[in-house]
C-alpha cells in the first residue's frame, strides 16, 4: 500500500513537472503569449517610388533595402509594381532590390512594404557583419595641413576611439573653425559634413562609414536619418554626426550603409520617394502563429494551431473536458456533492455552451419536470424498461422540437440552441431522478437534480472561461498537470465537506 | 464549531469518511473479482447454504420472462414471501407479501397487488432497473422472516435487522436497524429507519441514530432504545465472523435477522457498508479498524497467519466492550 502511494506520488510529480516544463518551454523559449488578450505593435514601413520614364528607355532602379540582420524580426516583405521584374541581391553589407522594366509609359509607381515586429531578434542581430576595409584617402596640399591641424587637438582631447570620434564630430560642426570650414569647402550640408568626417577620421586610421537609419514612429513622411558608425573590433559604434550623440536609439532601424542615396535610377525623371511608417497593433498569438510559419519554428511549439481550422474548433471544446471532469472529481470527492451519474454534469455543462447558463438551466428544469410527469404516468401503464425509456426519450425530443418552434415564433433565438442538449443523457437523468424519487423520496431527488445543475453550471463556467480555453489550447501541457492533480486526488482519504455535517453529532 | 475543528475532532475520534473507507478498506481488502459474490444475493445464499450458514429458505428464482408467467404456481404453497432483485442495492425493489386476499397479494403495508402488478414488478427487476450497473438481473423469491417479538417494544412494523462490520474476520462494530413509520417498514437508514448501536461483548443495545442525529428513543414508539438484550447474540456475532471465510472479503457488512422460528439468519452481505453505524455507536470505525490491524500485524510477527474465528471473536469482545468500559468509567467517576 505504501509502495503504491509512493508510486502514485512519483508519477503525479513527473507528470506535473513534465507538463509544467512544456508550458514553461513554450512561454519562455518560444515566446508564446500566455493570454489571447496580449497585443504588440508591428511596424509597417511603406516606400513609394514614383517617376516618369524617358521615352523608349528601359527602366532600371536600384533600391537599398533594410538588411536581414535587423534588430527587429521581419514579418513580411513585399514588392508591388506592374510589369516590373524585381531581384533582391546583396552588395557588401547592404541588401539591394533591382527593379527593371524594358518598356514603360506614363507615371510609374513602385511600392515596397516591410513589416517588422518589435520583438527583439537577439539571435539574428549578432550576425551583423563586420566592416569592409577600405584604403585611407591620400591627401595633399592645404587639405593635408587642415586635417593635421584638426587631428592634433582631437588627439589631445580624446582617450579612445569613441571619444576621438565624438571630438571630431564636435569640431566639424563648429562653424567658427577655419580648418573645418576649409575642408567643407562652403558646403555645410549634412552630406558634406559626413564626407569630411569620414575623410578626417580615416586619415587618423579610424574607418567610419555612413549609415542611413529610419525612425520607427507614426509618421506619414520621413527621410532616412544619417548616422556614422565605426567598428571597434567587437561591435559597431553609432554616432550622430550632428550632435555627436553615441548609440543608436531603440526605435531606429539601419536601412543601408555607404555614401550612395537610397535610390539610384537609370532612364528616369521626376523621381519622388516617399517613406512612411505606421504602427499597427496585432494580436500576439496571431503574430506568433505567422512567425512560426514563416520562420519554421519547432512544430511542437504551437502544436494545436497546426491542425485544420475545423479540428481546432473541436479541440477547443474537447481539451476543456478534463477541466470539467477535474471539477466534478473535486465536487464529489472533496465537497461531497451528489449528482446524477458521474460525468452527466460535464455533458450538460457542454450543452450550456450553446444555450447559455440561464436558458440551459431553464431548459433542463422544464424538460426534466415534463419528463418526470410523463415517467410517473407511464409507471401506471406497467411498461418494460426499454420501451419506457424509448418513450421518454422520444417525448424529450418532441419537447425540444416544440420549444425550438415556439421560441422561434416568439423571436427567442436561444430556444434554437436547445437542439444541442444531450437527449440520451436527459432521458437517463429523468429515469434516475424518478427512481430516486420513488426509493428515497422527493427531497432526495430534488437534491440530486439541484446538485447536478450546480455542478453543470460550474463545469460550464470553467470550461468556457476564455482565458483558460486559450491557455489550455495553446499550452496542452497543462493537461498533464491536471492529470497529476487527478492522480494525487486518487489517494485523498480525508473527509468530504458534507461529511463534516453528516458526522457533526460525533464531533465533540 | 468551525469546520476545521469539526474535522480535527472527527479525525481524533477515528471517524471514517467515504474516501478513507473506499481507499483504505474497500479497495485494499476487497478484491474486485470477489464482488459478484456479494453483489448477487442468489450467489451469496448458495454459498452460505453450502457453508452451513443459516439463511431464509429459497422459494424460487425467476430469471426469464417465461418464468414470470409461472409465478403463481411457484408461490402456490406460500401465503407470504419476499421478492428481491438479486443485484439490488440498499433495499431497493424489495416487495414483501404478507398475505393473500381473493386472488390478490397483500403487502406488509396493506396494499393489494394483482398478479399483473407482481408480474410487472418482476419484469422490472429482470430488466435491471434496480441492479447496480443497470444490466439484466434475476428475481429471488424467499421465505418471509417473522420478526421475533423481542423487538416489538422498540420497532414499528417491518423486520429489524442486525448489521455487523467485519474487518479481516474481526467484528468491529454492530448495529441494530429498526424500521420506522417513515421508512415504510424497511430497515434502511437512508429511508428513515433508525440505527441502534450494539455492545459487541454483550449484545446489549446502546443509543441510536436517526437522520444523522443521535437519539435515545424510537421516534414512533417513544420507547428508549438503550438497554435491550439481543437474544442469540453469540450466534449472530459468530455467524458474522465466519462470513469472512465464506467470501474472502476483508471488509464486509453482514446483515442478519432474527426469525421467530428459525433463529439468527444471514440476509445479505455488503462489500461497501454504510458509515452511519459510527453515529449509532458513537465510535469511530477507523479507530477500531486500527486496533484490529495492529493485532493482525502482531500475530503475523508472532508467526500466526490465520487466527481462528473463535480467537478473533474473543479478541474483539475483549477490546471493544463498550458497556463495561462505561460502567467502569461510571464507577470510577462516582468513586471520585
Query: Which of B89, B111, B142 is at the close of a domain?
Result: B142
- Do B265 and B186 belong together in one domain? yes
CB pairs under 8 A between A and B: 85
Per-residue pLDDT of chain A (508 residues; tens, 9 = 90+): 568 889 999 999 999 999 999 999 988 887 788 888 888 888 888 999 888 888 777 888 888 888 877 677 787 888 888 888 888 888 877 888 888 888 777 888 889 998 888 765 554 444 566 666 666 666 777 777 888 888 888 888 888 878 888 888 887 887 777 777 777 777 777 778 888 888 888 877 788 888 888 888 888 788 888 888 888 777 788 888 888 788 888 788 888 888 888 888 877 788 888 888 888 888 887 777 777 666 655 567 777 888 888 888 889 889 999 999 999 999 999 999 988 888 889 988 988 888 888 888 988 899 899 999 998 898 888 777 788 889 999 999 998 888 888 888 888 777 777 777 778 888 888 888 888 887 777 888 898 899 999 999 999 999 999 999 999 999 999 999 999 999 999 889 899 999 999 998 888 7
Other CB atoms closer than 10 Å to residue B40's CB: what's the count?
18
Which of B8, B17, B289 is the best substitution to test chain A (most A C-beta atoms within 10 A)? B17
Strand order, beta sheet including A219-222: A72-80, A108-120, A39-53, A268-283, A219-222
- Do B314 and B296 belong together in one domain? yes
Q: By the 8 A CB rule, do B204 and B323 touch? A: yes
pTM: 0.74
How is chain A split into domains, by residue range?
39-125+212-297, 135-206, 312-506
Hey, what's the cell of B290?
A: 486500527
Q: By the 8 A CB rule, do B80 and B97 touch? A: yes
In angstroms, the CA A211 to CA A194 distance is: 10
Indicate yes or no: CB of B23 within 8 angstroms of CB of A385. no
Report helix, strand or coil for B229. strand
SS3 content of chain A, % helix, strand, coil (to 5): 50, 20, 25
Indicate yes or no: CB of B7 within 8 angstroms of CB of A495. yes
pLDDT in tens, B145-191: 988 888 877 777 778 899 999 999 999 999 999 988 888 777 888 88
The CATH number of the domain holding residue B27 is 3.30.470.20
Residues A248, A254, A257, A260, CA torsion sign: negative
In angstroms, the CA B176 to CA B277 distance is: 9
- Do B168 and B33 belong together in one domain? yes
Query: Which of B142, B171, B199 is at the close of a domain?
Result: B142
In angstroms, the CA A90 to CA A129 distance is: 12
Which of A500, A501, A508 is the best substitution to test chain B (most B C-beta atoms within 10 A)? A500
Q: What is the 3-state secondary structure (H, E, C) of A46-71?
A: EEEEEEEECCCCCEEEEEEECCCCCC
Quote the strand ranges of chain B, DSSP E: 58-62, 81-85, 95-101, 104-107, 112-113, 139-142, 161-167, 170-178, 194-198, 205-210, 213-215, 251-259, 263-270
- Do B164 and B274 belong together in one domain? yes
Nearest CA in chain B to A333: B19
Q: Is A4 on the interface with B (CB under 8 A)?
A: no
Q: Is residue B290 part of a domain?
A: yes
Q: Is A379 on the interface with B (CB under 8 A)?
A: no
- Do B232 and B318 belong together in one domain? yes
Q: Is B1 on the interface with A (CB under 8 A)?
A: yes
Quote the strand ranges of B21-125, DSSP E: 58-62, 81-85, 95-101, 104-107, 112-113
DSSP run (H or E) holding A89: strand A85-91
pLDDT in tens, B181-219: 888 777 888 888 899 999 999 999 999 999 889 999 988
In angstroms, the CA A248 to CA A225 distance is: 11
Q: Is residue B336 part of a domain?
A: no
Q: Is A318 on the interface with B (CB under 8 A)?
A: no
In this structure, what are the phi and psi dihedrals at residue A28, rounded to the nearest 5 degrees? Answer: -90, -35
Exposed (0-12), middle (13-18) or buried (19+): which is A64, by Cβ within 10 Å? buried
- Do B153 and B96 belong together in one domain? no
Query: Which of B93, B111, B142 is at the close of a domain?
Result: B142
- Do B256 and B129 belong together in one domain? no
Task: Closest CB to B10: pick one of A382, A491, A507.
Answer: A507
Residues A84, A87, A91, A96, CA torsion sign: positive
In angstroms, the CA A1 to CA B29 distance is: 11
Q: Is residue B321 part of a domain?
A: yes
Nearby residues of A187 by Cβ (< 8 Å), 6 or more positions away: none
pLDDT for the residue A82: 83
Q: Is A54 on the interface with B (CB under 8 A)?
A: no
pLDDT in tens, B26-40: 999 999 899 888 888
CB contacts, 8 Å: B278 with chain A: 503, 506
Indicate yes or no: CB of A500 within 8 angstroms of CB of B92. no
DSSP run (H or E) holding A80: strand A72-80
pLDDT in tens, B40-93: 899 999 999 998 899 999 999 998 888 888 888 898 899 999 999 998 876 778
Indicate yes or no: CB of A502 within 8 angstroms of CB of B24. no
How close is the nearest chain B Cα to the Cα of A388, in Å?
Answer: 11
Nearest CA in chain A to B127: A385
Hey, what's the cell of B86?
A: 438479486
Indicate yes or no: CB of A500 within 8 angstroms of CB of B10. yes
Residue B103: domain span? 57-142
Task: Closest CB to A505: pick one of B7, B213, B275.
Answer: B213
Residues A325, A326, A332, A337, CA torsion sign: negative
Task: Closest CB to B6: pick one of A439, A496, A500.
Answer: A500
In angstroms, the CA B97 to CA B90 distance is: 19
pLDDT in tens, B256-293: 999 999 989 999 899 989 899 999 999 999 999 999 99
> Residues 116-155, chain B: which have Cβ within 8 Å of A?
116-117, 120, 123-124, 127-129
With b meaning 16 or more CB within 10 Å and e meaning fewer, what string describes A380-410? eeebebeebbebbbebbeebbeebbeebeee
In angstroms, the CA A459 to CA A455 distance is: 6
Q: Is residue B1 part of a domain?
A: no
Indicate yes or no: CB of B15 within 8 angstroms of CB of A502. no
- For every residue of A8-41, DSSP letters joined together read HHHHHHHHHHHHHHHHHIIIIIS---SSTT-EEE
Pairing between strand A225-231 and A108-120?
unpaired
- Give, to the nearest 10 degrees, the angle between helix A385-409 and helix A357-381: 140
- Do B97 and B196 belong together in one domain? no
Residue A210's DSSP bridge partners are A228
Nearest CA in chain B to A329: B19
- Do B252 and B111 belong together in one domain? no
Q: How many domains does chain B have?
A: 2
Find where cell 516618369 sits. Answer: A52
The pLDDT > 90 percentage for chain B reads 52
Amino acid at each position: 500500500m505504501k509502495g503504491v502511494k509512493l508510486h502514485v506520488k512519483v508519477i503525479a510529480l513527473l507528470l506535473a513537472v513534465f507538463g509544467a516544463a512544456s508550458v514553461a518551454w513554450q512561454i519562455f523559449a518560444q515566446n508564446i503569449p500566455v493570454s489571447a488578450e496580449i497585443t504588440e505593435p508591428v511596424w509597417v514601413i511603406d516606400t513609394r517610388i514614383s517617376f516618369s520614364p524617358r521615352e523608349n528607355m528601359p527602366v532600371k532602379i536600384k533600391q537599398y533595402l533594410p538588411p536581414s540582420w535587423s534588430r527587429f524580426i521581419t514579418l513580411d516583405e513585399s514588392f508591388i509594381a506592374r510589369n516590373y521584374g524585381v531581384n533582391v541581391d546583396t552588395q557588401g553589407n547592404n541588401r539591394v532590390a533591382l527593379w527593371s522594366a524594358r518598356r514603360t509609359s506614363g507615371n510609374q509607381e513602385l511600392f515596397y512594404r516591410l513589416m517588422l515586429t518589435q520583438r527583439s531578434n537577439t539571435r539574428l542581430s549578432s550576425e551583423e557583419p563586420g566592416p569592409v576595409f577600405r584604403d585611407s584617402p591620400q591627401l595633399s596640399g592645404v587639405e593635408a595641413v587642415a586635417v593635421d591641424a584638426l587631428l592634433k587637438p582631437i588627439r589631445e582631447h580624446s582617450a579612445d576611439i569613441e571619444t576621438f570620434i565624438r571630438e571630431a564630430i564636435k569640431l566639424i560642426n563648429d562653424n567658427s573653425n577655419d580648418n573645418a570650414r576649409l575642408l567643407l569647402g562652403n558646403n555645410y550640408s549634412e552630406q558634406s559634413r559626413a564626407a569630411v568626417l569620414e575623410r578626417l577620421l580615416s586619415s587618423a586610421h579610424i574607418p567610419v562609414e555612413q549609415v542611413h537609419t529610419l525612425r520607427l514612429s507614426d509618421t506619414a513622411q520621413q527621410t532616412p536619418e544619417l548616422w556614422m558608425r565605426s567598428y571597434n573590433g567587437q561591435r559597431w559604434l553609432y554616432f550622430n554626426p550632428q550632435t555627436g550623440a553615441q548609440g543608436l536609439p531603440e526605435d531606429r532601424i539601419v536601412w543601408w550603409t555607404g555614401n550612395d542615396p537610397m535610390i539610384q535610377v537609370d532612364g528616369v525623371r521626376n523621381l519622388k520617394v516617399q517613406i512612411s511608417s505606421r504602427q499597427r497593433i496585432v494580436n500576439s498569438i496571431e503574430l506568433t502563429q505567422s512567425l512560426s510559419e514563416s520562420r519554421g519554428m519547432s512544430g511542437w511549439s504551437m502544436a494545436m494551431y497546426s491542425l485544420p481550422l475545423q479540428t481546432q474548433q473541436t479541440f477547443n471544446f474537447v481539451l476543456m473536458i478534463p477541466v470539467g471532469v477535474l471539477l466534478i472529481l473535486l465536487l464529489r470527492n472533496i465537497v461531497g456533492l451528489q449528482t446524477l451519474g458521474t460525468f452527466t454534469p460535464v455533458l450538460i455543462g457542454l450543452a450550456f455552451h450553446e444555450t447559455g447558463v440561464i436558458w440551459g438551466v431553464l431548459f433542463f428544469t422544464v424538460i426534466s419536470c415534463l419528463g418526470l410527469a410523463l415517467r410517473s404516468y407511464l409507471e401506471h401503464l406497467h411498461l418494460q424498461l426499454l420501451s419506457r425509456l424509448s418513450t421518454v426519450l422520444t417525448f424529450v425530443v418532441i419537447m425540444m422540437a416544440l420549444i425550438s418552434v415556439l421560441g422561434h415564433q416568439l423571436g427567442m433565438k436561444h430556444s434554437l440552441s436547445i437542439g444541442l442538449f444531450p437527449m440520451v443523457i436527459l432521458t437517463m437523468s429523468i429515469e434516475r431522478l424518478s427512481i430516486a424519487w420513488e426509493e428515497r423520496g422527493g427531497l432526495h431527488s430534488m437534491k440530486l437534480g439541484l446538485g447536478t445543475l450546480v455542478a453543470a453550471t460550474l463545469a460550464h463556467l470553467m470550461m468556457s472561461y476564455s482565458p483558460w480555453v486559450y491557455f489550455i489550447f495553446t499550452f496542452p501541457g497543462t493537461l498533464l498537470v491536471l492529470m497529476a492533480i487527478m492522480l494525487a486526488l486518487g489517494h485523498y482519504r480525508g473527509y468530504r465537506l458534507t461529511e463534516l455535517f453528516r458526522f457533526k453529532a460525533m464531533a465533540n | 464549531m468551525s469546520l476545521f475543528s469539526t474535522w480535527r475532532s472527527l479525525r481524533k475520534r477515528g471517524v471514517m469518511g467515504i474516501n478513507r473507507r473506499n481507499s483504505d478498506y474497500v479497495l485494499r481488502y476487497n478484491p474486485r473479482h470477489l464482488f459478484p459474490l456479494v453483489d448477487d444475493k442468489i450467489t451469496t445464499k448458495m454459498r452460505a447454504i453450502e457453508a452451513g450458514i443459516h439463511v431464509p429458505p429459497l422459494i424460487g428464482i425467476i430469471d426469464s420472462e417465461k418464468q414470470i408467467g409461472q409465478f403463481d404456481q411457484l408461490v402456490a404453497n406460500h401465503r407470504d414471501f419476499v421478492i428481491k432483485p438479486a443485484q439490488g442495492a440498499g433495499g431497493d425493489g424489495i416487495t414483501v407479501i404478507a398475505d393473500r386476499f381473493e386472488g390478490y397479494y397483500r403487502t406488509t403495508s396493506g396494499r393489494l397487488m394483482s398478479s399483473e402488478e407482481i408480474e410487472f414488478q418482476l419484469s422490472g427487476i429482470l430488466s435491471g432497473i434496480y441492479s447496480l450497473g443497470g444490466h439484466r438481473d434475476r428475481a429471488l423469491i424467499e421465505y418471509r422472516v417473522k420478526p421475533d417479538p423481542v423487538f416489538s417494544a422498540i420497532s414499528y412494523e417491518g423486520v429489524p435487522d442486525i448489521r455487523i462490520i467485519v474487518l479481516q474476520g474481526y467484528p468491529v462494530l454492530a448495529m441494530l436497524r429498526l424500521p420506522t413509520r417513515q421508512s415504510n417498514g424497511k430497515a434502511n437508514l437512508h429511508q428513515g429507519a433508525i440505527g441502534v448501536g450494539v455492545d459487541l461483548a454483550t449484545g446489549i443495545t446502546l443509543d441510536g441514530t436517526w437522520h444523522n442525529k443521535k437519539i435515545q428513543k424510537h421516534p414512533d414508539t417513544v420507547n428508549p432504545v438503550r438497554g435491550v438484550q439481543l437474544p442469540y447474540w453469540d450466534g449472530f456475532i459468530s455467524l458474522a465472523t465466519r462470513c469472512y471465510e465464506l467470501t474472502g472479503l476483508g471488509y464486509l457488512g453482514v446483515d442478519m435477522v432474527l426469525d421467530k422460528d428459525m433463529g439468527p439468519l444471514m440476509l445479505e452481505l455488503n462489500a461497501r457498508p454504510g458509515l452511519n453505524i459510527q453515529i449509532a455507536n458513537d465510535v469511530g470505525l477507523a479507530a477500531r479498524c486500527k486496533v484490529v490491524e495492529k493485532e493482525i500485524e502482531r500475530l503475523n510477527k508472532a508467526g500466526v497467519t490465520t487466527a481462528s474465528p473463535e480467537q478473533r471473536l474473543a479478541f474483539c469482545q475483549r477490546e471493544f466492550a463498550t458497556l463495561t468500559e462505561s460502567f467502569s468509567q461510571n464507577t470510577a467517576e462516582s468513586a471520585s
